[in-house]
Chains A and B, each alone.
Chain A
Amino acid sequence: MSPAAWAAVGLVGGIGAVARSLLANAIQARAGVRFPLGTLAVNVSGAFALGLLMGAAPGGDATLLAGTALLGAYTTFSTWMLETWMLANTRRRLAAALYVTVSLASGLAAAALGRALL
């Protein structure tokens, strides 16, 4: 990868992280519940968008920038795990189990749907 491509990956990844943060917080605040709907919405929408991208199969730099950098940084595994751990650790084990399974089921379905659409 060229230095310019690396710079673009970093820039686009930073934008993805900011988009995640703003959107997740806005959704969480409006939801008015403790269940982590903000992260769930971001992760599932990101999986859908990555499905669309892979369905379109642009290849090369477009996949790197829009897929690996933008959607990779927009979605998060670590926050998902931290929130699951926090739910389980505050005696909300059913909510924790639900969060893991709903994230996986809807994430997979969203990615498959996105890929089938394009």
Chain B
Amino acid sequence: MTSSSGGVSRTSRSSDADVEPAGSLRAVSAIDRTAVAAVFAGGVVGTLARAGLLEAVPSAPGAWPWATYAANIAGALALGWVAARTPRGSRQRALLGTGLCGALTTFSTMQLELLEMIDARRIALALGYVLASVAAGLAAVALGRRL
């Protein structure tokens, strides 16, 4: 769970590695700068792709947000693929998973879109957006792992 929530692993210094078991809490740690750079680079590309999609396919407040939906499902599919093929804590995972897929997809925009649907009294649409996002998101992760 820990490494799937972010690719920048905190690695213990070599002098501490002998006394502290791998994967446990580490008192003394240093952040892997190359992994940070990889997350940043992936984040730049993912954000640009999502912003480009929002520019190309704008949606009115309270209407079905096709751009966000497409970015989220595509990102979940891609992350399923990446997670099945790159080792946890690797730089490839940091670049493609945490950086690219993480930034291509968004949770905060989805919540604001749901609020706007509720504002517009489109409760069925809001429920449909939630269910379609979670169902397709989970299916996309499962499919991505098998591709």
| Chain A interface residues toward B at CB < 8 A | 1, 6, 9-18, 20-22, 24-26, 28-30, 32, 34-36, 38-39, 43, 46-47, 49-51, 54, 64, 67-69, 71-88, 100, 103-104, 107-108, 110-112, 115
Report whether over half of chain B's contact residues are helix, strand or loop; otherwise say mixed.
Answer: helix
Q: Is the interface of A mostly helix, strand, loop or mixed?
A: helix
**B125 proximal to A (CB < 8 A):** no
* B94 with A21: CB separation less than 8 A: yes
A-contacting residues, B1-21, CB 8 Å: 1-2, 4-10
Please tell me if the beta carbons of A72 and B47 are within 8 angstroms of each other in the complex.
yes
Chain B residues within 8 Å of chain A by Cβ, number: 60
B138 touches A22 (CB 8 A): no
**Nearest 9 A/B pairs, CB to CB:** A13-B47, A17-B43, A77-B105, A21-B6, A73-B103, A75-B107, A81-B137, A78-B79, A78-B75
- Is B1's CB under 8 angstroms from A78's CB? no
The answer to whether A50 and B111 have CB atoms under 8 Å apart is yes
A10 to B76, CA, bound (A): 20
